[in-house]
Structure 1
């Protein structure tokens, strides 16, 4: 696996991630790591005919999660090279199939893209967690979800609905929580008494129109080797479930 780190900053996390990745996988195309000045630059990978490009801020490259972030992006590159349906299926096409004839809020549409990216991440992290430990990823999922949930005590139960979280959009926060649990359970990196379960419960209470358990099951049970039509069908179903959601079914 050919790796080039461009820009001033640490190279060690990327070299370490490469060594770990190469224990079970390889990439045909070279990887260029571009260290960005903007501390808020998100970490993302670009795929081209002759190379992959990993874009990451210097701050992220110097963080405790740097190796894990790089390993995660290498996994996306591997899925792209193998033409995995999750990485070559057009999200726009799937959303068009799912939402044709529907009037969808702009925020909901943005959330649908995020759900599609969660499905891509599930398949990338099947690779990530097959070669590396999951402790840091689990801590990252926990802290990210906690940051999206308000630091206020759970409201006393009452007949009318009262939010127990504030700030982040409650609907997509509930889906994000379902994704985090699904990823952890799918790869067996979480204990049943982990705090992530309590955080996910709080997120679900604030999103009565979202069936969080359904999304958790949907993400966790994604087939490991889907065909293109099957994957597209799952993406369409997930999109419709979110947009048309009426919340959990009554017992």
Structure 2
């Protein structure tokens, strides 16, 4: 597996992630690591005809999560090379099938993309957690959800209702919580009394219109080796569940 770090910065996290990854997987294309100056730059993978590109901030590359972030992105690259349905399915096609004839808020369309990304992450982390430990990932999920729930608005959104999570988007926060808990349960990372359950319960209470248990079950029970048609239908169903309403089947 060929890794090429572009520019000055740490290399050991990427080499360490490569060593873990190569215990069970490999990539046919080289990986260019692009270190970016913006500390808020999201870590993400780009795929091209002759290479993969791992984009990561210098701050993230120097953090305690650097190896785990790199390993996660390598897993996305592997799924892309496998042409796994989760990584080649067009989200635009899914939105057309799921939402034809419906008027949907722009924010909810963005959330539908996030739901699709969660499913991609589930399949990537099936690789990540097969070759590396899950403790740091679990701590990251817990910390991220706790941060999302920390900013409680002073004024309830409706009389008599105390909102428990941020005012911005409690609905997608609930879906995010379902994803975090589903991933943890899928890989046996949590005991029944783990704090993640308490955090997820708060997120679900704040978005009663979201089928929290349904989303958790949908994420947790994703088929490990789906065909294209089956995966497309799962994504269509998840999209409809989030925005509401019925429509034509995917096939």
**TM bin (shorter chain):** over 0.9
Q: CA deviation at 1:212?
A: 0.5
Kept after mapping to 2: 8 A contact 1:149/1:167: no
What is the rounded CA distance, in whole Å, between the counterparts of 1:227 and 1:244 in structure 2? 25
Aligned to 2:233: 233
Query: Where does residue 88 of structure 1 map in the other structure?
Result: 88
Deviations 1:4-46 (A, max 9, x none): 0111110000000000000010000000000001111110100
CA displacement, residues 212-241 of structure 1 (integer Å, 9 cap, x when unaligned): 000000000000000000000000000000
Where 1:32 maps in the other structure, the secondary structure is strand
Give SS of 1:191's match.
Answer: coil
**Aligned runs of 1:1-251 on 2, under 5 Å?**
1-150=1-150, 160-244=160-244
What are the ranges of 5 or more consecutive residues in structure 2 without an aligned counterpart? Answer: 153-158, 246-251
C-alpha distance in 1 between matches for 2:106 and 2:98: 15
Give the paired residue count.
Answer: 240
User: How much does 1:150 deviate?
Assistant: 2.6
Task: Please name the residue that 1:155 is paired with.
Answer: none
Tell me how far 1:162 sits from its aligned partner: 2.6
Q: Distance in 2 between matches of 1:203 and 1:78?
A: 32
| CA distance in structure 2 between the aligned counterparts of 1:41 and 1:151, rounded to whole angstroms | 22
Q: Name the SS for the 1:110 alignment partner.
A: helix
Structure 1 contact 32–53 (Cα < 8 Å) conserved: yes
Residue 166 of structure 1 deviates from its aligned partner by 2.3
CA distance in 2, matches of 1:100, 1:33: 39
TM-score under structure 1 normalisation?
0.93
Instruction: Indicate conservation of the 8 Å contact 1:44/1:56, yes or no.
Output: yes
Is the contact made by 1:4 and 1:32 (CA closer than 8 Å) also made in structure 2? yes
CA contact (8 A) 1:47 1:53 kept: yes
Whole-angstrom CA distance in 2 between matches of 1:163 and 1:217: 25
Alpha-carbon deviation of 1:95?
1.1
Structure 2 CA distance, aligned partners of 1:150 and 1:130? 32
Unaligned runs of at least 5 residues, structure 1? 153-158, 246-251
